[in-house]
Amino acid sequence: MIKQYKTFRGGLHPPDCKAGSAHKAIEDCPLPEELSIHLSQHIGVPAEVCVAVGERVLKGQAIGRARGMVSVPVHASTSGEVVAVEPRPHPSGKTLEAVVIRPDGIDERHGALSGADYRSLSPEQLRERIRGAGIVGLGGATFPTHVKLSPPPEKSIDTLIINGAECEPYLTGDHRLMVEAAAGIVLGINIFRRALGARRVCVGIENNKPDAVLAMRQACRETGIEVVALATKYPQGAEKQLIYAMTGREVPSGGLPMDVGALVQNVGTAEAAAAALSSGRPLIERVLTVTGPGVAEAKNLRVRIGTPLSHLIACCGGLKGVPAKIIVGGPMMGTAQLGLDVPAVCGTSGVLVLREEDLAVRPEGPCIRCGRCLQVCPARLAPTTIAAYARLDRMSEARAFNAMDCIECGSCAYICPSAIPLVQSIRHAKASISAKRKKH
| pLDDT confidence tier of residue 306, bands split at 50, 70 and 90 | very high
Q: Which phi and psi angles does 235 have, rounded to 5°?
A: -100, 80
Are 407 and 423 in contact by the 8 Å Cβ rule? The answer is no
Domain hosting 382: range is 372-439
Q: For the chain, what is the mean pLDDT?
A: 95
First to last CA, the chain: 57
The CA distance from 210 to 164, in Å, is 12
Domain shared by 85 and 214, yes or no: no
Are 258 and 157 in contact by the 8 Å Cβ rule? The answer is yes
Burial of 27 (0-12, 13-18, 19+ CB in 10 A): middle
Domain shared by 256 and 137, yes or no: yes
In-domain check, residue 14? no
The CA distance from 439 to 437, in Å, is 5
Domain count within the chain: 3
Q: Is 316 a known ligand-binding residue?
A: no
pLDDT value of position 361: 81
pLDDT value of position 437: 81
In-domain check, residue 2? no
| pLDDT confidence tier of residue 343, bands split at 50, 70 and 90 | very high
Domain shared by 228 and 187, yes or no: yes
Q: Is 377 a known ligand-binding residue?
A: yes
Is a pLDDT exceeding 70 seen at residue 360?
Answer: yes
The CA distance from 72 to 393, in Å, is 37
- Its pTM surpasses 0.85: yes
Is a pLDDT exceeding 80 seen at residue 439?
Answer: no
Domain shared by 41 and 130, yes or no: no
In-domain check, residue 363? no
In-domain check, residue 147? yes
Q: Is 409 a known ligand-binding residue?
A: yes
Domain shared by 145 and 224, yes or no: yes
Reported as a single tens digit per residue, the pLDDT across 167-214 is 999 999 999 999 999 999 999 999 999 999 999 999 999 999 999 999
Reported as a single tens digit per residue, the pLDDT across 114-148 is 889 999 999 999 999 999 999 999 997 899 999 99
Residues of the chain above pLDDT 70, percent: 99
Q: Is 406 a known ligand-binding residue?
A: yes
Write down how long the chain is. 440
In-domain check, residue 6? no
- Three-state SS for 171? coil
Of 324, 357, 390, which marks where a domain is finished?
Answer: 357
Reported as a single tens digit per residue, the pLDDT across 34-88 is 999 999 999 889 999 999 999 999 999 999 999 988 999 999 999 999 999 999 9
Q: Output 261 or 360, whichever has higher pLDDT.
A: 261
Domain shared by 273 and 296, yes or no: no
Q: Is 367 a known ligand-binding residue?
A: yes
Domain shared by 275 and 289, yes or no: no
Is a pLDDT exceeding 70 seen at residue 315?
Answer: yes
In-domain check, residue 10? no
Domain shared by 350 and 384, yes or no: no
Reported as a single tens digit per residue, the pLDDT across 280-301 is 999 999 999 999 999 999 999 9
Nearest CA among 162, 270, 165, 265 for reference residue 209: 165
Q: What is the CATH number of the domain that holds 327?
A: 3.10.20.600
Is a pLDDT exceeding 70 seen at residue 1?
Answer: no
In-domain check, residue 18? no
Of 279, 306, 322, which marks where a domain is finished?
Answer: 279
In-domain check, residue 329? yes
Domain shared by 147 and 199, yes or no: yes
Which residues partner with 28 through β-bridges? 302
Position 1: which residue type? M
Residue 34, number of CB atoms within 10 A of its CB:
17
Q: Is 412 a known ligand-binding residue?
A: yes
Domain shared by 267 and 376, yes or no: no
Q: What is the CATH number of the domain that holds 162?
A: 3.40.50.11540
The CA distance from 163 to 146, in Å, is 17
Domain shared by 240 and 380, yes or no: no
The CA distance from 139 to 152, in Å, is 23
| pLDDT confidence tier of residue 324, bands split at 50, 70 and 90 | very high
Domain shared by 152 and 272, yes or no: yes
Are 351 and 290 in contact by the 8 Å Cβ rule? The answer is yes
What number is the average pLDDT over the span 81-98?
97
Q: State how beta strands 159-163 and 200-206 pair.
A: parallel
What number is the average pLDDT over the span 321-342?
95
Of 221, 253, 279, which marks where a domain is finished?
Answer: 279
pLDDT value of position 440: 67
pLDDT value of position 438: 75
